Each structure stands twice: as C-alpha cells, then as structure tokens.
Amino acid sequence: MGGKWSSMDPSQVEVPEIKTLLERDPYLKQYEIDIRRRYALFKDYVEKIEEGDGDLRQFTTAYESFGIHVQDDNSVVAKEWAPGAQEVFLTGEFNNWQKTATPYKKLEYGKWELHLPPNADGSCPLKHNSEIKLIIKSHNNELLERLSPWATYVTQKPDKSEGTTYKQRIWHPENTYKFKHPKPKKPESLRIYECHIGIGTQECRVGTYLEFARDVIPRIVKQGYNTIQVMAIMEHAYYASFGYQVTSFYAVSSRYGNPEELKELVDVAHQHGLYVLLDVVHSHASKNTLDGLNMFDSTDACFFHSGSRGEHSLWDSRLFNYAEYEVLRFLLSNLRWYIEEYGFDGFRFDGVTSMLYHSRGLGQGFSGHYDEYYGLNVDVEGIVYLMLANHMLHEIYPEIVTIAEDVSGMPGVCRPVAEGGMGFDYRLAMAIPDKWIKLLKEVKDDDWKIGEICWTLSNRRWMEKAVAYSESHDQALVGDKTIAFWLMDKEMYTHMSTLSPHSEIISRGIALHNLITLITHALGGEAYLNFIGNEFGHPEWLDFPRIGNADSYHYARRQWNLVDDELLKYKYMNNWDRAVNMLEEKYGWLHAHPGYVSWKHEDDKVIVFDRSDLTFVFNFHPVKSFADYPVGVKNPGTYKIVLCSDDEQFGGECRIDTNVQHFTQPESFSAYQNKMMIYIPRRTAIVYAKNW
C-alpha cells in the first residue's frame, strides 16, 4: 500500500510517542526508520478505512450486514464477499435444495447480496435450525458447495460414518440468552486459568458449556484465579487440533452446545467475578473447502495469499492476506463479534510469531539480535494487522486485555501503538516452560544452575509485561509430559495414596512441583497462567480421540476425583496452588515492580528475591538443609512466615515452626544493610512478610 503516509520519507513520519520507546531502549535508535515506516503503513490503513467506511467502529461491525440475517418482519437479507465467483446462490431446506433457484445479486467490489421476502403467512422462509448452503459458480462453470464465512452456527452429523463435514444452520431462536451480570473490572493481577470446555468433564466424552459453568467454574474461583482463558471455541473440524484449525470463524463450537449456552457460561463466569479471555486464531485457517474458508470463491486467493505464500507448510493450513481490505474487515469484525455477541473480555492471540515473519518462525532460532526484528524476513503486513487490532480494541474497549503468543521476543510487542509498538498488554513468557522441561528431562537436581533459572525467570523486556507459566496446554499434550508426570510418573500409579509407604520420588515430585509453581508465579512475569488440572499435578498427558488411539477419550478429560479424594496426595499440590494465588491476591506482586534477586548461591542451590514487600527464599538443594542461613532484607524489624511449602497441608515434612518471629540484625548481607537468620530445609520455599 502506497498511501499518503507510507510514501513519505520515513524519517518525517510522526509517531506520537516514539521518543518514549527510544529512551527506554536506546538500541532501537538505529531501527527508528523501520519503526516509523511500520507506523506510516498503519496510518495508511486507518485512513483507507475511514475513507471507505467512515471510521473503525463502523468498519469492525461487518457481522451486522455480512452473512445471513433475519429481519424484524421475517424477511432475510444476506451479503457475501466472493470476488472470484461468477455467480452466487443460496440453497437449502427452504427451496428443496434447488442449487440455482435463489441467486444473489452482484454488487461492486466482489460483493453479492440477496433479499428474501417473508412467506405468504408472514413467517420467515429460513426456519430456525434449518440447513442452508452457498453455491459458488466458478469461472469454469463448476457449482461448488460452500458455507458462509460469516456462519454463526454449524454442526456435524453425530454419526461419523456419514462424514464429518459441517453443516451451516440458521440460528434464530425465539428466546435468546439475556446476560444478567455485569462484566468484572479488569484485574490488576491476571491469574489465568487456561481451560478447554471439552476436556472439562471427568467422563470419557466431550464436556458441555453448561457443565463447565456448573462444575468447573466454582473450582476455578475456589483456587483463587480471577481470569479464564478459553480454548478451542472458534469452530474447528478436527477435535484433536485443539481448536487451532479453524473452519468457521464466527461460529462457536457446537460440540459443547449452542451459542446461547456459551453466553450463559460467560455470564456465570462474570457472576463469579471472572474475567474471560478467548484464545483467538487469526494467524492461519483450516485448508478445508467444503466447510472452511479455503477456496471459498473458487480461487486460492480471496481471504488468503495466493500460491506458496498463502500456505503454512508445518501446520498444513492457509495464511491470511492482511493487506486485503475485506480480510481486515472480516478479522477485525471477528474480534468485536466475540465481545459484543458473547461478552468476552479480551483475547490471547495464537501464533503471533507466524504472523510477524515470512519464515513463520520455522527453523528460526531467535538470538535476540535486533536485525532479526527489522530485516527482510519481517512480515510488515502481519505486524500492521496486529497494530490495527490492538488500536481498535483498546480505543473501543478500554478495559480489554490482549496477550501475544510470540516466541521471538520482538521489541515493542507490548508497547502502545502510539510509541511505534504493536499494542499488546502482555506476551507469553515462552522460555520459562521450556527451561523447566529441559531441566527435568536432562539435568540432575545436583547440577541445576541457580543462576540460569533466575536469568530465565527475570529476562524480559523492561516495561513489556509477560505472562509467566511453568506449563500450559503445549506441555500437556501427548508426546510431552506435564511437570508432575516428568517428576513422578514412575510411582504415580502406586504411591500417591497417603496410606502408601513413603516414596522419595513422590516427596521430591510434590516438593519441586510446589517450588516451580511459586518461583514462576512470583518472579517470572506480570501475570500468571495455569492449564486446567495442572494445579493438582494432573497425571498423564492430554490426547484427543483420533485414529491413532482408536478414538479414545481416556486422555481427553480431567480426573477431578483425584484431587477430591482426601486419601490422595494430589490435594497437596492443589492446596499450594490455591495458597499462592490467595497470597498474591493479598500482596499483589504480579502488578508490582519485577522481583529483585538479592542472593543466588550455586553450591547451596538457594535463591532469595524481594517483590511487593515480600521476601521469597528457595532451597532447591536435593539433600542439604541449612540452619541459621543469612538472608539480606531491605527493612529492619520483625518478619513472619506467610507461606511455607514444608507445611503438612502442602505435602511437606513439618520441619519449620511457622509461628516463629524472625528479628533482623543491623549487619549488611548480599544487597542489604540488614539480615535475618533462618532455617531453610532442602526443597523448600518460604515467604516472609514484615510485621508492620
């Protein structure tokens, strides 16, 4: 695009707050031209949208006119964008499946429109829940069956022998769900519970929206989480894709129920004070043609880049053409649809790294050198789309939160668009789970490098907020193992009973699971994420029904009975997870300044850091406990223990009297002028607070 802004000398393009960005990171100065050029392209897009549609607000409500709409008088108005079609028809139960009996009228710019009057008796010609299809006549005179890209409800046949292609249905019920509860305020500290509706049940089947609202949300609230991040909501043909091969972007998955039931789930979450994030996939789309966007207008372009640029070789999916005006309309309106129709409070954008680089991040090890973020490999169109999305969302919805899944570490991803950034609020700290899994797989406890752990947990861009996590859905999938399973799989089936003989493997596993949870939570970022079930060390992996496992649901569920059984040790990890969340709620370390590591000792395997008026002490040593261990503290006075992993309720050995007061001495130690002497047993974490 060569608009007014992008055709200017980039050095002359005004970026309102770029000075702030460059002062924070002087290394960006030599890339200032690139940053200004991106901003110029962003401004061009905004101006083109304003010229074509008035403003971004109007442009991003395209779902009000595109797709199929039943009017108040029961007439039907429909509109599609299919620039490669020769003709477009609507067929379905309403016209006895006559393919070419109901044609659309051709408009300008590849658009097509249809008006259907009410029936003679005043009823709607398209009955609620009736099936319809679009027929696209190609320039080769083929009649191709398609679903509308704007379809709001699609279903599969329950009998798999009849095929699994989705059918588009008219969703126009007499009674729609009315939201009863106000949206909660955006939390200062995001404690995120990443979840999947289908696996939320204990039974070997797909769980439902209403079951999740009834059975799982109370658990989440009790655990001290204030945010849920819901996965696999946008309709996807292949259940085992975890929702990442989207076929219908405006339809919520009918596997779990209907659209009104999802609204009820979101409303119940709001009733409990939970902020609700949607895992949104705008990085790619399913290759399906009969029920996806691929080849919609009979060409390989339309929504996507044509040729090899439009295909993701690893994901076997299609890549959007973010420079296309109608693609921007479709995707930006999609974000607003989920807020306006379903009440979602924000988004976690999947696959952002793929959107930022022409390589899609494949086979690319990001060293952190800034040339990688501003060279020819950068896909500026993808960057500008994300700038537009964040600009639009934050302008219209001030309480929104957006999170980027980006492994590359590109500067400015989590800085405002006005600075020349991309506008996200948070990015996922993806190096942290990789570090924990690598340690558990490859390194003996004795050889853990304490300095490396601290570096991984604290190495993030200044004033770009990160979501810390030790494991997410990625680590739970078949082919990998959860942290609990890496630690304890050898005896998880035999020694998790409180009545079974002592097991060093289980004791070590629970202790390290608890330490990893706390240090990641308290040092790793400005928000925290846990994947459903990992709070109690869910055993085994996650594997969806597929041919390779004989369509089994055995591993596609959550075994809540394990944590509910008082005779099993899963309760210890669950108790710890809850206690950590409750302590964060009280002291708010996630929205405080980053933690300051004042002591890290390789031989002792001890880490001490401060955050939000708390002092955190960790002893990762497998065998050594330390009496009278010196800990430097900022303020003199008396300190109390507010959390200790050695307590019985957390599976500890009860070696510490948590009622003991600790008095400081006016002697300098580590970075501070005062110290206190503590007892810190092996594989134990203790949190101290000052008695004010």
Quickly state the pLDDT bin for 160 (edges 50, 70, 90).
low
| pLDDT exceeds cutoff 80 at 161 | no
Q: Which residues are catalytic?
A: 350, 405
Q: Can 62-169 and 594-690 be said to share one CATH topology?
A: yes
Q: Scan for tokens 């009979």, then name that residue.
A: 298
Q: Among 584, 522, 471, which Cα is nearest to 189's? A: 584
Q: How far is it, in rounded angstroms, from Cα 492 to Cα 506?
A: 7
* Alpha-carbon distance values, 213 to 185, 196, 266, 421, 539 (Å): 20, 12, 8, 37, 24
Give residues with Cβ within 8 angstroms of 315, minimum separation 6: 244, 245, 284, 354
What's residue 1's pLDDT? 56
Mean predicted confidence (pLDDT) in 298-307: 96
Per-residue pLDDT tens digits for 379-393: 999 999 999 999 999
Per-residue pLDDT tens digits for 393-407: 999 999 999 999 999
Within 410-503, residue ranges assigned H as helices are: 431-442, 450-458, 473-476, 483-488
Question: Residue 205: how many CA atoms within 13 Å on its side-chain side?
Answer: 7
**Contact criterion met (CB below 8 Å) for 472 and 522:** no
**Average pLDDT of the residues of the chain:** 95
| pLDDT exceeds cutoff 50 at 162 | no
Amino acid at 375: G
Q: How far is it, in rounded angstroms, from Cα 40 to Cα 387?
A: 11
**Contact criterion met (CB below 8 Å) for 94 and 125:** yes
pTM: 0.97
Beta bridge partners of 131: 169
The CATH number that domain 62-169 falls under is 2.60.40.10
Q: Where are the domains of the chain?
A: 10-59, 62-169, 594-690
Per-residue pLDDT tens digits for 319-369: 999 999 999 999 999 999 999 999 999 999 999 999 999 999 887 778 888
> Domain 594-690 maps to which CATH number in 2.60.220.30, 2.60.40.1180, 3.60.110.10, 3.100.10.20?
2.60.40.1180
Q: How far is it, in rounded angstroms, from Cα 684 to Cα 690?
A: 20
Per-residue pLDDT tens digits for 88-137: 999 999 999 999 999 999 999 999 999 999 999 999 999 999 999 999 99
Give residues with Cβ within 8 angstroms of 307, minimum separation 6: 300
* Alpha-carbon distance values, 587 to 469, 515, 582, 612, 615 (Å): 19, 19, 9, 6, 12
